[in-house]
Structure 1
Amino acid sequence: MFFNPLSKCASRVLGAFLLLLTLGSCEKTEQAAFPGEGVAEETAAHQSGENSTPPPSSQPKPQAPAATGDSQEPSPSSLRFIAYNVENWLTMDRYIDGKRQKSKAKPDEEKEAIVAILVRHQPDVIGLCEIGSTEDLADLQSRLKEAGLDLPHSHHTGGFDPVRRLAILSRLPIVSTELREELEYELEGKTMGMSRGILDATVKTPVGPVRLLGVHLKSKREVPEADQEMMRRSEAHLLREHATSILEEDPATQLIVYGDFNDTRQSSSIRTIRGPRKTPLSLGMAFLRDSRGETWTHNWEYQDVYSRFDYVFFSQPVLDLVDWDSCRVLDDPETLTGSDHRALLFVLK
């Protein structure tokens, strides 16, 4: 059989050309996938996966990036909502200068950093994780007001954890709150309780009443009581049951579910919370990025790991109200000083 080297060379050239066409097509698809920063149905680019650590070319540095813009002014026709784990704004034992000290409040430097971020972005409502007592909440509220952000309305709640609680601060009236009493689940033959509970509050806003469900699921930390992942899944089921009951009663509810979920996007707990896809009960995910296009929201400094644990989900009636150009992960200069989490800005108009 006669071997033609030119024919083999032509085949290689043709194969390389087809490969380049394919890669170019994939690149265009991925670039086109994010014009709105994450509409309800995630695109092929979202499905490609998500690394817990950003690529080396954009690896976060020990110092946070520059502020993303000038101070924002509240709009009478929009809702600016920020979800934020403020990392232990409470009294606890802390390591200070390498020594363990008992019953210490969050350092003022960290508090001032959080206040600076919040005042800069002028939210109408803040959903808080890891706030302590009502006195701690009043401390934050007072510091914000002194710095120029007056949020006179508040709601403070929690679950079986007496230390770390949930709360909201709001410029707008809180018209109702609900306390979910069924916060227990069975696991490994034990009856266990949802540590931080579920915050449930409805706020009167320029876009109509918005119902907020805030959570802080079981941390990614091993405990002797049970498997930490199964605990988080069980808490996710309780949240999903509560969201389902709300949407079954009134599918038109403008529902926002937010908080620190301590899990990655494709985990069982996150899938559970989102609910059955393409039904009135499903929750969309706000796929938020910072000024550099990064999605991480939590920095575990000890292991140098960056993960996306914080989310904003929403019911279908909210989708058409989202101002995607304004929604983002906040990466202000004070970020890594104030908390090990980054705040999420979600805007409706």
Structure 2
Amino acid sequence: MELRNLPIILKNAPGFLGAFFLVAAGTSCKERDQGGDWTGQSQSTPALAPALASAPKPASSPASAGPVAKAEAAAKGALVRLVTYNVENWLTTDRYVDRKLVPGTPKPEAERRKVTEAILSAKPDILGISEIGNERDVKDLQKYLSDAGMELPHFYLNRGSDLTRSLVILSRYPIGKTVAHENLSYHLGGREYAMLRGILDASIDTPAGAFRFLGVHLKSKREVEDGDQEEMRRQEAHLLRREIDSILEADPQARLVVYGDFNDTRNSPTMKTVHGSGRGSMSLNMIALKDSRGQYWTHYWDYQDTYTRIDYVLVSQALRRSIEWDHSKIIDNEAVAGASDHRPLLVILKK
């Protein structure tokens, strides 16, 4: 049966409200699955005055140590900074400019500069991006970063059935094996649908070891005529879980990182499907990142006037002890304002 792509609904959110931010200290987290017991977690009302606390640099080896000792110490202390970010349509599409719909318009210059500034503030070694367009848009982002002094020369672009929005991972380190996942379709209401943005799958060797990254951007909460948006998103989550199971069944010790814009809340059927049941080798650990004020929200939707947590990073059991919990966080400094309707997530990985 021929696959039917879902219609693209243009979104032109004006971004976050108000003026940002006062400097505050980062909150400390323990080394554990911060997703809790999946029975609910209280979250404070969002405030619009957060700030970013800088993560300390790893200590260098003692000058008196020999070459072997230095190498071992460097490997042990190696940290890799992963940033995941929905950059809100870094692509060419129809947009409202001065209240008029203008076809074929790129992301505004001011917003691109703000996104660049937000990324620079997080200092990523690996950058997982949602809502970018084609390869030309990726190279445009690379140029903005390079002009600002950040080189992420390697990238892998994944395109699904959505011909407008794609996923890309950029890296300071060469990207190794990539997997193009096929058969990402499901049936709903007697019709067949393709997973809109697909699943980005890339392995990267870093100073902190080898990691396998799965990036996603699941169906949005916006209603469409073709079907129920919540059920579509849940079906996409089942497709993702199928690929996670396949990876972990083949290698229970896989150093797997699953990240992206899941477009659903923590206790939703979508996220429970992705997380997996129990705490066995097949389940993932959710990193419940907070901003500098202890708040969890990652997205502001102006249409509904809601602040929600819909962006996540989850890791396999093999990586449970490879997270710098105390310095992983939601980036909430001044640069984030006006860049996107999402906030970037920072996770620091280690050996």
Matched, 1:36 2:29: yes
> What is the aligned partner in structure 2 of residue 131 from structure 1?
132
Q: What amino acid is the match of 2:32?
A: V
The answer to which structure has the higher helix fraction is: 1
Contact 1:328/1:345 (<8 A) preserved: yes
Distance 2:198 2:114 in 1: 27
Number of aligned positions between the proteins:
307
User: Any unmatched runs of 5+ in structure 1?
Assistant: 1-33
User: Any unmatched runs of 5+ in structure 2?
Assistant: 1-26, 60-73
Identity of matched residues, %: 45
SS at match of 1:269: helix
Contact 1:39/1:287 (<8 A) preserved: no
Distance 1:197 1:50 in 2: 32
Deviations 1:25-84 (A, max 9, x none): xxxxxxxxx95257226447x744345xx42xxx434xxx35414587699711100010
Map 1:1-349; keep pairs closer than 5 Å.
36=29, 39-40=32-33, 42-43=35-36, 47-50=39-42, 54-55=44-45, 59-61=46-48, 65=49, 67-70=51-54, 77-349=78-350
Contact 2:53/2:292 (<8 A) preserved: no
Distance 2:207 2:271 in 1: 30
Larger Rg: 1
Rate the CA distance shift 1:186–1:276 in 2: closer, same or farther, 3 A.
same
Q: What amino acid is the match of 1:175?
A: G
Contact 1:89/1:105 (<8 A) preserved: yes
Task: Tell me how far 1:303 sits from its aligned partner.
Answer: 2.6
SS at match of 2:337: helix
Distance 1:159 1:332 in 2: 32
Q: TM-score, normalised by structure 1?
A: 0.84
Distance 1:108 1:270 in 2: 34
Distance 1:127 1:74 in 2: 23
Task: Tell me how far 1:98 sits from its aligned partner.
Answer: 1.4
Distance 1:299 1:212 in 2: 26
Q: What amino acid is the match of 2:253?
A: A
SS at match of 1:331: coil
Q: TM-score, normalised by structure 2?
A: 0.83
Rate the CA distance shift 1:300–1:38 in 2: closer, same or farther, 3 A.
farther
